[in-house]
A and B are shown apart, each in its own frame.
Chain A
Amino acid sequence: MTRRPFATIALALAALSGTGLAQASDDYIVLASTTSTEASGLFGAIIPRFTEATGIEVRVVAVGTGQAFEIARRGDADSLLVHDTAGEERFVEEGYGTERADVMVNDFVIIGPGGDPAGISEAETVAEAMRLIAEVEAPFASRGDDSGTHRAEQRLWETAGVEPGGSWYRELGSGMGPTLNTAAAMDAYVMSDRATWVAFENPQDLTLLFEGDEALFNQYGSLLIDPERHPHLKHDLAEQWHRWLLSEEGQQAIADFTVNGQPLFFPNAHSD
């Protein structure tokens, strides 16, 4: 009887080695993308339609745009869908990607405490809104993680002619959701992509204060990764995904996705 625990372990070992950990099928691609697309539920809505049409499974690794580029550069993802047009173009120029295409847009919004101490809801442009926040030194929660949203936020400060810094400007180094959680807890202003904001369930006193400026336009691009640099990648499957995103079918799937009845991404692939 004393040997039973070890017999149990041996049995468990045998069971584990037999099941599960093996790969199911080879018909899948790894897509490196951003947290905004995953957390808002977009992928959960459109990927099943792609899989149904092609039989290809898409495995999403949702990280910040900076990390997504790095994963793709190292050859760890078959496909890339991010929102940093300048970075995407550089990715192609450096020879990592062979093609980049516009897929869809959403926009950034400025969120803040309901009382709006900086009065940004009256601002005409987003640059003015950012200046107002800096002037009263109202707490501002920045992603600070080199993500597409963080890069966009830095460009906005530049346009506003403000060099953010000091105790009111808090770089959190986290994803969009955690940044919103923190901003809610400290009543800070924060810039978010609309998709994450609308799907976010812990707003507390935060409310949408500024939206609609063209400078807040957020372009998503899909990239094809250079097959010569990383021959092991599943280029054929990745290309099918890329083409599907740009196709009428894919664009319709994006347009059909809503949260609380609100469309969050607007397809804008150039048909050619």
Chain B
Amino acid sequence: MPADANAFQTALALILGMDPVLLGIVALSVQVSLSAVLIAALLALPLGAALALWRFPGRGAIVVTLNALMGLPPVVAGLAVYLLLSRAGPLGPLGLLFTPTAMVIAQVILILPIIAALTRQQIEELHGEYRDQLRSLGVSRPRMMPTLLWDARFSLITVILAGFGRASAEVGAVMIVGGNIDGVTRVMTTAIVLETSKGNLPLALGLGLVLLGLVLLVNAAAHLVGETARRRLG
């Protein structure tokens, strides 16, 4: 029997069945990826805005590096975090390896460059539009930063969603630093890998559809929030 024909049924059965194991995996996936996105956004939004507003030596190199790091292979990020958090590594004494915290750290490293690089681009364009106006009002750069970030908030939501998409979809990093431990660090993507390796392709694909639905929900929620806010603003 072909796996794809069964996957929709399996996905439906998974969702309707409200299996507690699956719910735990879904909850952990959302928790890890949302935490990573929030932390990355808090760091990357000001970083991106600062890169857009200030000119200093080495700025070009940082911009290029950030752009390049958008393509950082998850497995490399995972390996780096593994070596960092391993007992034999510099942060070993913290005992964070094979915990959800380690997975959040790895995902922050993956999505911080995405949010920072895209924020820089958005803010730079906006700054180009408003530069003369802001300057005539005598607004200093540190004061410009929150203003421009606020003004760009709708496009920045899309930027943050791009980060969330990357975080929830990747498997290479969380597999290495989380260890795919049942009930502790097993998330949607690592569960899909495990079921594939068992040859249980319908279940693997079904889990994939559930994950896709989840990402869709988060995006729809962000869209709704954005639209509502836009309409209220007139």
Please give the residue numbers on chain A whose beta carbons come within 8 Å of chain B beta carbons, in ascending order: 1-2, 4-5, 8-9, 12-13, 16, 19-21, 23, 30, 35, 38-39, 44, 59-63, 73-76, 175-178, 180-181, 199-203, 230, 232
Closest A residue by C-beta to B92: A75
A176 neighbours in B (Cβ, 8 Å):
197
Q: Known contacts A5-B229, A75-B86; decide if A21 and B101 are in contact (CB<8 Å).
A: yes
- Report if A76-B86 is in contact (Cβ < 8 Å); known contacts: A16-B31, A202-B201: yes
B binding-site residues for A, Cβ under 8 Å: 3, 27-28, 31, 34-35, 38, 86-89, 92-93, 95, 97-101, 104, 153, 157, 179-182, 184, 194, 196-201, 225-226, 228-229, 232-233
Contact residue among B98, B101, B182 (Cβ-Cβ distance under 8 Å from A76) = B98
Contact B197 A5 (CB under 8 A): no
In the bound assembly, the distance between CA atoms of A16 and B31 in angstroms comes to 7
Instruction: Identify the interface centre among B35, B180, B198: most chain A CB within 10 Å of its CB.
Output: B198
Query: Nearest residue in A to B28 (C-beta to C-beta)?
Result: A20
Residues of chain A with a CB closer than 8 A to B199's CB: 177, 180-181, 200-203
B35 touches A60 (CB 8 A): no
Chain B residues lying within 8 Å of A175, measured Cβ to Cβ, are 197
Q: Is the CB of B229 within 8 A of A2?
A: yes
Secondary structure at the B interface, as helix, strand, loop or mixed, is helix
**A61: nearest chain-B partner, CB-CB:** B179
CB of A179, distance to nearest CB on chain B (Å): 9
B198 in complex: contacting residue of A2, A21, A199, CB < 8 Å: A199
Query: Are A16 and B34 interface neighbours, CB within 8 A?
Result: yes
- B197 and A232: CB pair below 8 A? no
Known A-B contacts A20-B100, A61-B98; the reply to A201 vs B200 at CB < 8 A is yes
In the complex, what residues of A have CB within 8 A of residue B95's CB?
A: 232
Q: Is the CB of A21 within 8 A of B31?
A: yes
Nearest B residue (CB) for A41: B198
Complex CA gap A61/B64 in Å reads 37
24 CB-based A-B contacts, threshold 8 Å: A5-B157, A9-B38, A13-B38, A16-B34, A21-B100, A23-B99, A35-B197, A39-B197, A59-B179, A60-B182, A61-B179, A63-B179, A73-B88, A76-B86, A76-B88, A76-B97, A176-B197, A177-B196, A177-B197, A177-B198, A199-B198, A201-B199, A232-B87, A232-B95
The smallest beta-carbon distance between A18 and chain B, in angstroms, is 11
Give 5 A-B pairs besides A5-B157, A12-B38, A23-B99 with Cβ atoms closer than 8 angstroms. Answer: A4-B228, A38-B194, A39-B198, A44-B182, A202-B199
Instruction: Say whether, besides A5-B225, A20-B31, A62-B180, A74 and B86 are in contact (CB < 8 Å).
Output: yes
Supposing A9-B38, A30-B98, A202-B201 touch, asked if A230 and B87 sit within 8 A by C-beta, the answer is yes
Chain A min CB distance to B52 (Å): 20
Pick the most buried of B95, B104, B179, B180: most chain A CB atoms within 10 A of its CB. B179
Residue of A nearest to B199 (CB): A202
Bound Cα distance from A199 to B35, whole angstroms: 36
Query: Nearest Cβ distance between residue B86 and chain A, in whole angstroms?
Result: 5
How many angstroms between the C-alpha atoms of A83 and B8 in the bound complex? 38
Whose C-beta in chain B lies nearest to the C-beta of A16? B35
Centre residue among B34, B104, B184 by max chain A CB count within 10 A: B184
Q: How far is the CA of A61 from the CA of B225 in the complex (A)?
A: 40
A202 to B2: give the CA distance in the assembly, Å: 10
Which of A9, A21, A61, A74 contacts B181 (CB under 8 A)?
A61
The residues of B that contact A30 with a CB separation of less than 8 Å are 98, 179, 181
B20 → chain A closest CB, angstroms: 15
- What distance in Å separates the Cβ of A165 from its nearest Cβ neighbour in chain B? 26
Chain B nearest CB from A140 CB (Å) reads 19
Distance A63 CA – B78 CA, assembled complex (angstroms)? 15
- Report A15 CB to chain B, min CB distance, Å: 9
On chain A, the residues within 8 Å of B181 by CB distance are: 30, 59-61
**Residues of chain A contacted by B87 (CB below 8 angstroms):** 74-76, 230, 232
Bound: A177/B199 CA distance, A: 6
CA of A108 to CA of B197 in the docked complex: distance in angstroms? Answer: 18
Query: In the complex, which residues of chain A have a beta carbon less than 8 angstroms from the beta carbon of B228?
Result: 4
CB distance A178 to B196 under 8 Å?
A: yes
Q: How far is the CB of B95 from chain A (nearest CB, A)?
A: 7
Chain A residues with Cβ below 8 Å from B198 are 39, 177, 199-201
Cα A13 to Cα B229 with chains together (Å): 20
- Among candidates B27, B99, B233, residue contacting A2 with C-beta atoms closer than 8 Å: B233
